[in-house]
Every structure is written in C-alpha cells, then in structure tokens.
C-alpha cells in the first residue's frame, strides 16, 4: 500500500483537501478555494476567496446567505480542470443541487460522495452510480439498525397524524432545506386537505426550489408577528432550531413531531421530547452504504461524517474491500 | 388475529400522550376482542411479573447464530438503542423473513401459553430452529412486540390505573371494584377476564384481596393554617407497607406493590390466624431489634421479602414486627367510609383485646402505631427532626376526618420526611444507560477523599434533568481517562451534592460505608474537587444519625 502522503485527497483540520489542486472540499475554516457538495450550512463556511458548486447549489447558497459571494457554478457531469486534475459533479440524491465530486488524475479516480441517499426523492436528481478507485463515503447512519421506511408510508403517517387531531395545531419540525421540501412533496401525494404553513426560512427555500423547476404545493407563510393561536387543524413546518423557543408559545394546543432518520429508533424517539417521530432521512443507511460501495467498484474506501468504526470493522472482516484510515494532517 | 391487534394497540398507546385518549383506545380494544385475548393483554400491559422466556443476551446470540451475524455488531447496535428486543427487531428488517405467514394471525394465548413456554424445554439447536421459525412467520411489524414478550421486557406507558378506568367505563362499574379485582395475581384465562368484567359483585371473590391503598402526599406548608388538633400524628416507619387480611379464617399479607408475601413472613400468618376476629389492617412491616426496641435497617428486611421458604433460623435472626395503623374492615364490615378517628378507636379496642387474650406471643409481633401529640406546629418540626433517634424517617400526618380512599388524594395523609443526608462527592466513573437513556452516560459513581485519595462511595442515576444529562454526557466523552467495557473513568473535576436516606457500615464496599437511595441533588459547579467531603465526614454522619 502507498504512503498516506501520496493520496490525492487528505483529511486536514480544515476538512478534505486535494493538495495537487490546492482545493478544499466543504471546508470548515475559510480557505482560498472551496468545492461545495451541497448548500447545508454545516458544509459551507463563510470567508473563502472562491467557491465552486453545482448550479442549483450556487443559487440556494446565495438565497440563504443573502449576499454576493464569488461562486462559480458547473452543471452536473460537466468536467473542469484545476492544475490538470479533472473534476466533475454528479448527483448524490441528498437534496436539490447536492453532488458527489469526482477527481480524475492520470486515470486514477477518487470519488467523494458528500451526503447522499439512495431512496427516491422527487425534489432532486437521483443518485448517480459513479465507478471509482478510491471512495470517500459519508457514514452518518453507519449501523445496521437504520433502515428507512418508504417515504410514502411516512407521508401517510404525517397526514393521518394531522387529520386525526383536528382539534390541535400540528407542528412538524424539519430542516429548512431539503427535508421540508421533500415532506411537502410526499404529503401532496396523500389525501392531505388542510392548510399548510411554513416558517419564513422554509418558505424562502420553497420559492427557491420552485424557481429551479421543482413542483411544490403552495404553503402559507407563517407571520412572526401574527397571533398564531388560531391555526387549529393546520400543519406547520418549522426548523428544529426553534423547538422550545418563545416563538412556539404563540401557538395554542399543539402537538409536535420531528421528521428525521434518527426517529426510526424507538429509544431515540422517546428521548427526543417530541410527541411523535417520523422516520424520513436524506442520508444513506447501512444497506445503502454497502450497496453504494459495491456499485462504485471501488477498491479502497474511506469514511467521514459519522461514526464509522463499526462499518470499517464489518467491511474488514468481510474482506471485500480495502478499508483505509485518513492520517490526520494539521 | 391477535398478536397483530395487540401490536397495533401497542403502537397506538405508545404514540399517544393523552390519558383520555388512551382510555378510549383501551376501551375500544377490550370491547372488540375475545375474553381470553383480553386477559393476556391485561397480563402484558400491567407487566408486573412478565415471564422471561429468553434473556436479552441469548436473544442476541440466537440471532447471531441463526443469521451468522457478528455479535460485536449487535452489541454496537445495542449501545445505541439500549433494548435487545428492539435491536433484534430492527436487524430482522434486513433479513429475508416472512417466507410463509404461519403465525400471521396467531393469538396471544397460542404464543404465551404454548409456543413460548415450549422454548424452555428445547435443546439449543431445536430452540434456534424454533425461534427462527417464529421470526420468519410473523409479520415484520410485529417483531418488536414478539421480542419484547419473549424477553419479558414489554412495557408501555399504561398504568394499572388506566386499565382500571377503561374496564370500569366499559362495563359501567365502580372503579374501586375493578381495581379490587385487578389486585394481586391476575392469572390470564377466559374466566379471569369474565370475572373482571362481571357486573355482579360476588362477596366471596373479594376474600383474599386487599383494598387499594391510601397513599400519603408530600407535606404541604399550607396545612399549618389549620388547628393542630385537626390531625393525627404518627412516626413514618421505614419498612414495607402491607395490608394484613384475615377473612373467613384465611390470612393473606399483601404489599403495596400488590404482592402476596405470606411465604416470606410465616410467623405473622401463624399469629394472625389465631386471632378470633376477621379483619383488614393497614400497617408497616419491619425487622426489629427487640433489645433496643428499634427497627433494623431496611436492607435486612429486603433479605426476607422475596423468600419462598423462610426457615425458623431466619425468623429468629431477622425477627419481624407488624405496626398496625389503620383498620379497614372488621368481621366483614367495611370501615373505609368511617373517618380516621373512628377507625383508630375501633383498631385500638380490638388490638388491646387480642393482645390481652393471647399474652406474650402476639405482642412479640403485633404493635400499634404510637400516636404523637405535638401541641404546636413548631413541635411538629422538632419531632420530625428527631425522628432518626427512634429509627423512623419522619412523620405521617393524617387528617382525623379522612375516610380511606384509594390512591394519592389531596388533603388526607401527608408524609413529612426528615431532610436527607448530604455529601459533596466527586464524579469518577460513568456508565451508559439503557432503555430511554441509551447512548448517553447516565449512571454515575462518586467518590470521597481519604488521605488524599478518592474512594468510591456511591452510585446514582437520578437527579439531573435532561439538559444537565446531555451536558454531563458531553463532558464525560471529552474527559475520559480510561475505559473498561461500558464504563469510563473520567477526570476528577466535577463535584455533585449527593443526598441519601441512610448510611451504615458495609464490609462489601471499599469505602466501608453503604448509603441508601443515593441521588444527585445538585451539580456543584461552584465547587472544586478539593472542596468535596471526606470519608471521615461520612463516618461522622453515621455517628450523628
């Protein structure tokens, strides 16, 4: 095996780094040049000199941070070169605009999955199987206890939850970007007949999605100042950061729910403090990670984002693939 | 089709926070199900002593062997989930089960009365095959329930009170009667359910059964506005609360936890049988030091409670005493609607009669709860503070006009406990919790100083709120020095105030002391570890108590 230092991509205190191209991927500190896999804020850092992302991601980032940044956008599959390294974005199925990033140097291919999922999601492009030599995969849900419900089933449960408690205001906590839009898309296919209100952060992203050609049902914007005590029977989407906030006190007779992959475990559901947990995730679970590794035909795999100890040991024992650890570089 | 129905009931109840809604759900379930299945449902929901057919550990190893699945991976999953039954049901989703649906409509009776009990007589290999067969023939959505029943860990947020209410509503009968019928051992059968919902009340069926206990509330300051002679004052004994019953000549001893404990206390059964009257007495059972005329530590009582056989020598080395404080029934007459003053009067009259008739013998085991007569509320305070002198843990204050009603009704009885003992101790070990606390470090061990060294003296699980638990969990992960299996030793840095009820010498512990009911009362972020208490301080507490 080669020395770690000869790897094309390394793991540093600022995030994943490609030395030959002098470019960081989703850096956590300001750097010169950053590739952004998707527009979630834990993958984006202010203050970089220059950003490169997919077209959709660039639009969403600009909408979210509300100011001009130096961001260059490429379409999916479109190859561009930095210092002679061929780089391209490929759909990762996580949220609208999310991408895997492929590096190609002298016929050696490296693929960073970014956050990805293999489930169907009409609000973004489906995950593309990319063949690679080296795979750097996320492992947020790297234990076999995770297995997602069909989103249709979860949507049906949400609809039922609202329908059967018309005497209450149903507040569903879900991330503003991606999860909220996917939930809206899925429940629009059920027999949901009541009003839907969305928090301004979600409302804005909805509009952004619509602008980018995603068909979403209309929702009403939740007014911050308005007295929210009379929204009985409606469904309200709010980002989880507002749980337990004063904002919630403007509602009367509420029931709360949380839409997240973590909610597929009863113990976590019980501990979450929400009245109800809905299992729906934009990440790949155990089986999907294994399937993705197999389909990528990678001979070497790294993991990042999440506990990967068990996944690594499992793959090592199976002996099917070379599991590598990043040597941490300051 | 009934495991299926029960599974749906579980999901409905589990995801419902409203008591009234739960009662409606239960009522609907009971009214649309067969008697035998309902009886098993009650058995499972009350979950008092659910039989364990397979341990959590063997469930995991069975799964590992059947599906050639690494046990270490199952254990990793367990750390996240905290419940073997749930882990296995989650992992089963990845397996190719549901080949044929032999058990699709299986009844609870079939499983609990036949399939599961049979497992225990099977050889290891046959057991594996049978468990595999069960898993692969039960719909995936019922795996959680199946595994929970198998491991005897079925719990859902339904109290016996809720079941009582829903049955009472179902047949439109008084709740007290239903709760009476549900007391003691509920053996599932068609008859037992039919008896439970029988609209006719048969006096003989009530013969062995205790009355629902009246429970004391915590002391409320506002009662001192009332004249002191409104109340009756007694010591609060630190034993087990029981109802001693003799009806039609048959004696039964029931604990508040609704366990029949005749076998643990045969001398009390014997002595009570020789009393001429029939009765139901509410009181406290203690292990007694006859020389000092003081109760012995609760831990000694624990040595007797769970006995199936109690030899003469144990009866002698751990002698018990029954302190009577209320009379609920005398010779078939229910006194519960009479007020406390009257009940006490009748109790005294009878008890002194019995003691007179059967000199010596009975007084060695029967005692009346002495009344205390404070003249002012300040004196109540003094009595309470001195209560440790006679081995009690405070006072019980009872409204003299109170009738005996089930549960913790306001305004009847109050317990006024002496302040707990407290020490400031240093956190040294943490262990992962299970169940609802899985994935978090919630079981803590604390130490006191001795000659410049920290010596472990107590473990506690409760007392912190969820925010604090999460905060401490993060701190523990960052400040781990060493790991031994699930236990982490942490940097000695955090000081906590630990409260407990009692302290005594113990040879089993390195510290030489054992405390009762230790719990965290405060996170002393303001204190440095050098400010924590010493073992010497603990020993002083022991001498002063």
Residue B396 backbone dihedrals phi, psi, to 5 degrees: -115, 130
Q: Mean pLDDT score of chain A, rounded to an integer?
A: 91
Whether residue A286 lies within 8 A of chain B, CB to CB, comes out as yes
Q: Which pLDDT score, from 0 to 100, does residue B98 have? A: 62
Q: Which pLDDT score, from 0 to 100, does residue A330 have? A: 46
For chain A, the maximum distance between any two Cα atoms, rounded to a whole number of angstroms, is 65
Given a cut of 70, is residue B205 above it in pLDDT?
no
Strands (E), chain A: 9-12, 15-18, 23-25, 33-35, 50-54, 71-74, 80-82, 85-91, 99-105, 108-112, 134-138, 169-173, 196-198, 220-221, 235-238, 254-259, 276-278, 300-304, 322-323
Given a cut of 60, is residue B232 above it in pLDDT?
yes
Given a cut of 60, is residue A2 above it in pLDDT?
no
pLDDT higher at A247 or A87:
A87
Whether residue B20 lies within 8 A of chain A, CB to CB, comes out as no
Which residues from A are below 8 Å from B87, CB to CB? Answer: 145
pLDDT higher at B296 or B396:
B396
CB A303 within 8 A of CB A142: yes
The predicted-structure confidence for B141-180, as pLDDT tens digits, reads as follows 899 999 999 998 887 777 777 888 899 899 988 776 787 6
- Interface contact A267-B144, CB threshold 8 A: no
Looking at A78-82, A120-124, B222-226, B321-325, which range is the least confident one?
A: B222-226
The set of residues, in sequence order, having a beta carbon less than 8 Å from that of B179 and lying 6+ positions away, is: B160, B161, B164, B212, B406
Task: Pick the closest to residue B191 from B28, B6, B27, B39 (CA basis).
Answer: B39
- Interface contact B77-A143, CB threshold 8 A: yes
Q: To probe the interface with B, which of A265, A289, A318 has the most B CB atoms within 10 Å?
A: A265
- Rank B14-28, B89-103, B303-317, B371-385 by mean pLDDT and report only the highest: B371-385
- Interface contact A144-B144, CB threshold 8 A: no
Q: Mean pLDDT score of chain B, rounded to an integer?
A: 88
> Which long-range contacts (C-beta less than 8 Å, at least 24 apart) are formed by B522-531?
B522/B496, B522/B497, B523/B464, B523/B468, B523/B472, B523/B494, B523/B496, B523/B497, B524/B424, B524/B495, B524/B496, B524/B497, B525/B494, B525/B495, B527/B424, B527/B495, B528/B495, B529/B426, B529/B454, B529/B492, B529/B493, B529/B495, B531/B424, B531/B495
Q: Which pLDDT score, from 0 to 100, does residue B210 have? A: 86
Q: What does the alpha-carbon distance between residue B52 and residue B45 come to, in Å, rounded to a whole number?
A: 15
Whether residue A317 lies within 8 A of chain B, CB to CB, comes out as yes
Given a cut of 80, is residue B8 above it in pLDDT?
yes
Residues 449-478 of B with CB under 8 A from A: 466
* Mean pLDDT across B402-411: 91
Whether residue A147 lies within 8 A of chain B, CB to CB, comes out as yes
Residue A52 backbone dihedrals phi, psi, to 5 degrees: -130, 135
Residues 51-110 of A with CB under 8 A from B: none
Q: Which pLDDT score, from 0 to 100, does residue B176 have? A: 66
Whether residue B80 lies within 8 A of chain A, CB to CB, comes out as yes
* Mean pLDDT across B434-447: 80
Alpha-carbon distance B442 to nearest alpha carbon in chain A (angstroms):
13
The predicted-structure confidence for B491-503, as pLDDT tens digits, reads as follows 999 999 998 877 8
Helical packing angle, A179-187 and A151-163, nearest 10°: 70
pLDDT higher at A304 or B122:
B122
Whether residue B93 lies within 8 A of chain A, CB to CB, comes out as yes
Q: Which pLDDT score, from 0 to 100, does residue A82 have? A: 94
Angle ∠(B507,B508,B514) on CA atoms, nearest 5 = 80
Alpha-carbon distance B504 to nearest alpha carbon in chain A (angstroms):
36
Find tokens 């007797």 and name the residue. Answer: B304
Q: What does the alpha-carbon distance between residue A44 and residue A15 come to, in Å, rounded to a whole number?
A: 11
Given a cut of 60, is residue A220 above it in pLDDT?
yes
Q: To probe the interface with A, which of B20, B60, B74, B94 has the most A CB atoms within 10 Å?
A: B94
The predicted-structure confidence for A245-282, as pLDDT tens digits, reads as follows 777 878 888 899 999 999 999 888 877 778 899 999 99
Alpha-carbon distance A276 to nearest alpha carbon in chain B (angstroms):
6
pTM: 0.71
* Mean pLDDT across A213-239: 86
Distances (CA, A) of B22 to B12, B135, B211: 8, 29, 25
Given a cut of 80, is residue B433 above it in pLDDT?
no
User: Residue B329 — pLDDT band, cuts 50, 70, 90?
Assistant: very high
- Rank A146-155, A228-237, A311-320 by mean pLDDT and report only the highest: A146-155
DSSP one-letter code for A32? S
Q: For residue A144, give the nearest of B17, B91, B435 by CB distance.
A: B91
Q: What does the alpha-carbon distance between residue A107 and residue A82 come to, in Å, rounded to a whole number?
A: 15
Q: Which pLDDT score, from 0 to 100, does residue A1 have? A: 45
Alpha-carbon distance B294 to nearest alpha carbon in chain A (angstroms):
44
- Interface contact B86-A313, CB threshold 8 A: no
Task: Pick the closest to residue A299 from A314, A276, A319, A313 (CA basis).
Answer: A319
Q: What does the alpha-carbon distance between residue A289 and residue B141 come to, in Å, rounded to a whole number?
A: 24
Task: Pick the closest to residue A265 from B171, B385, B12, B144 (CA basis).
Answer: B144
Task: Pick the closest to residue B262 from B184, B352, B325 (CA basis).
Answer: B184
Distance of alpha carbon A186 from the chain centroid? 17
The predicted-structure confidence for B9-20, as pLDDT tens digits, reads as follows 998 888 777 788
Q: For residue B82, give the nearest of A267, A309, A314 by CB distance.
A: A267
DSSP one-letter code for B438? B
Can you spell out the DSSP letters for B5-57? HHHHHHHHHHT---HHHHHHHHHHHHHTS-HHHHHHHHHHHH-SSPPPSS-HH
**Which residues in B475-487 are b (16+ Cβ under 10 Å) and which e?**
bbeebeeeeeeee
CB B92 within 8 A of CB B132: no
Given a cut of 60, is residue A137 above it in pLDDT?
yes
Portion of chain B with pLDDT greater than 90, in percent: 49
Structural tokens at position A178 = 């991606």
Given a cut of 80, is residue A224 above it in pLDDT?
no
Structural tokens at position B388 = 């440790």
Alpha-carbon distance A253 to nearest alpha carbon in chain B (angstroms):
12
- Counting one residue from chain A and one from chain B, the pairs whose CB atoms sit within 8 A come to 56
Q: Which pLDDT score, from 0 to 100, does residue B506 have? A: 82
Q: Which pLDDT score, from 0 to 100, does residue B128 have? A: 92
Task: Pick the closest to residue B87 from B79, B95, B96, B78 (CA basis).
Answer: B78
Looking at A130-139, A208-217, B190-199, which range is the least confident one?
A: B190-199
The predicted-structure confidence for A45-74, as pLDDT tens digits, reads as follows 989 999 999 999 999 999 988 778 899 999
Structural tokens at position A161 = 């939850």
Alpha-carbon distance B347 to nearest alpha carbon in chain A (angstroms):
48
The predicted-structure confidence for B242-294, as pLDDT tens digits, reads as follows 999 999 888 889 888 767 788 889 999 999 999 999 999 999 999 998 888 88
Angle ∠(B426,B429,B433) on CA atoms, nearest 5 = 120
Distance of alpha carbon A170 from the chain centroid? 24
Angle ∠(B456,B457,B462) on CA atoms, nearest 5 = 105
Task: Pick the closest to residue B329 from B366, B390, B281 (CA basis).
Answer: B281
Which residues from A are below 8 Å from B86, CB to CB? Answer: 265-267
């Amino acid at each position: 095996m080669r020395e770690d230092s000869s790897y094309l991509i390394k793991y540093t205190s600022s995030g994943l780094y490609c030395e030959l191209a002098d470019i960081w991927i989703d850096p956590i500190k300001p750097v010169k040049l950053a590739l952004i896999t998707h527009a979630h804020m834990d993958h984006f850092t202010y203050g970089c000199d220059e950003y490169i992302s997919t077209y959709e991601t660039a639009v969403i980032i600009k909408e979210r941070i509300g100011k001009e940044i130096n961001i260059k956008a490429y379409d999916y599959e479109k190859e561009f070169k930095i210092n002679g390294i061929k780089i391209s974005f490929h759909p990762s199925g996580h949220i609208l605009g999310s991408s895997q990033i492929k590096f190609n140097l002298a016929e050696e291919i490296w693929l960073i999955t970014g956050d990805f999922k293999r489930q169907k999601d009409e609000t973004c492009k489906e995950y593309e199987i990319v063949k690679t030599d080296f795979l750097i995969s996320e492992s947020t849900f790297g234990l076999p206890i995770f297995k997602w419900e069909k989103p249709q089933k979860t949507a049906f449960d949400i609809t039922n939850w609202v329908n059967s408690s018309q005497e209450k205001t149903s507040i569903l906590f879900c991330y503003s970007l991606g999860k909220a839009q996917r939930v809206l898309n899925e429940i629009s296919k059920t027999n949901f007949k009541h009003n839907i209100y969305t928090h301004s952060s979600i409302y804005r992203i909805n509009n952004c999605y619509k602008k980018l050609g995603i068909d979403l049902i209309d929702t009403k914007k939740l007014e911050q100042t308005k007295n929210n005590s009379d929204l009985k029977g409606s469904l309200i989407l709010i980002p989880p950061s507002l749980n337990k906030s004063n904002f919630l006190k403007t509602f009367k007779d509420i029931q709360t729910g949380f839409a997240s992959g973590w909610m597929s475990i009863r113990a976590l559901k019980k501990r979450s403090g929400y009245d109800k947990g809905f299992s729906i995730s934009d990440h790949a679970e155990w089986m999907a990670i294994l399937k993705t590794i197999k389909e990528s035909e990678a001979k070497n795999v790294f993991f990042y984002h999440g506990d990967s100890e068990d996944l690594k040991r499992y793959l090592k024992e199976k002996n099917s693939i070379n599991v590598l650890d990043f040597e941490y570089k300051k | 089709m009934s495991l299926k129905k029960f599974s749906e009931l579980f999901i409905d109840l589990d995801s419902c926070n409203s008591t009234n809604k739960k009662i409606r759900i239960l009522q609907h379930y009971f009214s649309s199900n067969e008697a035998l299945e309902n009886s098993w449902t009650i058995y499972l929901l009350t979950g008092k002593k659910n039989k364990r057919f397979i341990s959590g550990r063997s469930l995991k190893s069975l799964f590992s062997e059947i599906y050639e699945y690494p046990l270490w991976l199952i254990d990793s999953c367990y750390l996240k989930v905290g419940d073997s039954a749930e882990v296995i049901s989650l992992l089963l989703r990845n397996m190719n089960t549901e080949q044929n649906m032999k058990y699709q409509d299986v009844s609870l009776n079939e499983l609990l009365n036949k399939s599961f009990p049979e497992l225990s007589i099977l050889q290891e290999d046959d057991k594996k095959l049978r468990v595999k067969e069960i898993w692969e023939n039960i719909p995936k959505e019922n795996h959680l329930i199946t595994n929970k029943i198998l491991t005897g860990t079925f719990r859902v947020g339904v109290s016996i009170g809720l079941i009582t209410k829903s049955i009472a509503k179902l047949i439109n009968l008084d709740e007290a009667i239903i709760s009476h019928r549900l007391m003691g051992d509920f053996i599932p059968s068609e008859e037992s359910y039919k008896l439970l919902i029988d609209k006719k009340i048969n006096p003989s069926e009530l013969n062995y059964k205790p009355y629902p206990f009246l429970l004391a509330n915590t002391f409320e300051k506002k009662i001192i506005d009332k004249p002191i002679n409104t109340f009756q004052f007694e010591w609060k004994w630190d034993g087990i609360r029981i109802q001693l019953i003799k009806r039609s000549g048959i004696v039964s001893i029931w604990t508040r936890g609704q366990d029949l404990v005749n076998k643990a206390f045969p001398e009390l059964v014997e002595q009570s049988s020789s009393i001429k009257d029939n009765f139901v007495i509410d009181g406290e059972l203690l292990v007694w030091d006859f020389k000092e005329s003081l109760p012995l530590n609760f831990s000694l009582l624990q040595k007797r409670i769970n006995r199936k056989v109690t030899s003469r020598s144990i009866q002698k080395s751990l002698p018990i005493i029954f302190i009577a404080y209320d009379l609920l029934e005398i010779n078939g007459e229910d006194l519960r609607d009479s007020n406390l003053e009257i009940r006490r009067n009748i109790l005294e009259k009878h008890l002194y009669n019995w003691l007179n008739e059967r000199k010596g013998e009975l007084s060695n085991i029967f005692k009346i709860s002495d009344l205390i007569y404070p003249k002012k509320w300040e004196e109540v305070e003094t009595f309470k503070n001195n209560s440790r002198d006679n081995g009690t843990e405070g006072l019980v204050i009872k409204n003299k006009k109170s009738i005996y009603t089930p549960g913790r009704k306001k305004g009847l009885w109050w317990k006024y406990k002496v302040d707990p003992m407290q020490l400031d101790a240093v956190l040294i070990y943490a262990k992962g919790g299970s169940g609802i606390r899985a994935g978090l470090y919630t079981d803590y061990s604390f130490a006191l100083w001795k000659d410049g060294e920290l010596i472990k003296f107590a473990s506690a699980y409760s007392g912190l709120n969820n925010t604090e638990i999460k905060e401490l969990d993060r701190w523990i992960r960052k400040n781990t020095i060493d790991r031994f299996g699930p236990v982490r030793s942490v940097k000695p840095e955090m000081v906590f105030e630990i409260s407990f009820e009692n302290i005594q010498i113990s040879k089993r512990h390195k510290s030489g002391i054992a405390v009762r009911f230790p719990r965290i009362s405060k996170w002393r972020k303001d204190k440095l570890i050098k400010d924590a208490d010493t073992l010497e301080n603990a020993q002083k507490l022991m001498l002063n108590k």
